[in-house]
Structure 1
């Protein structure tokens, strides 16, 4: 039962990050968009990971709910990269705390 809770809490964190990423335009965070069609709305995972200073693999694990114990520094970096306001940043911290609480040891 605990692993199911851990999965759902991690998935909730991942859903929030994915939603914020797709709602954030590259131009909003200072990226130049080249010519051509972007298949992904908002930021690509690679762009967000680079902006936050974390590896793409680590970010993908967060978004997929596989990584459930991000450090406060990682959360702060993601919040800055996504231009979150104080309320969104606090929500991100709460989701991460819940995911960590239910994560297997």
Structure 2
């Protein structure tokens, strides 16, 4: 599995396991899939939906430590998961 696929799988699986209630967000409407919407993760992490979507598509190149920390908090990652996310970002390399 390549890095982009690993990033995509990791972020989508972590997003799916958190309910809006667990994240302190109001729940409205029915959801087609479990967990948070991309827009909700972006809001919690303090980034744009477009930027989070790019990250979730597997493009972690050049992502800052600040954004990684914000994602880890938004997705409620434990220490091992946070380290894995950092490893994925490191493997993606610097921004172009």
For the aligned residue pairs, the C-alpha RMSD in angstroms reads 1.9
Q: CA deviation at 1:14?
A: 2.1
In the alignment of these two chains, the number of paired residues is: 96
Segments of structure 1 that go 5 or more residues without pairing to the other structure are: none
> Higher relative contact order by CA 8 Å / sep ≥ 6: 1 or 2?
1
Q: CA deviation at 1:11?
A: 2.6
Question: Whose helix proportion is higher, 1 or 2?
Answer: 1
Superposition misfits of 4+ residues, deviation over 4 angstroms: none
Segments of structure 2 that go 5 or more residues without pairing to the other structure are: none
Q: Whose radius of gyration is greater, 1 or 2?
A: 1
Match of 1:89 among 82, 85, 91: 82
**Secondary structure in structure 2 of the residue aligned to 1:27:** coil
- TM-score when normalising by structure 1: 0.81
Cα distance in 1 between the residues matched to 2:40 and 2:73? 13
Q: CA deviation at 1:84?
A: 0.9
- TM-score when normalising by structure 2: 0.88
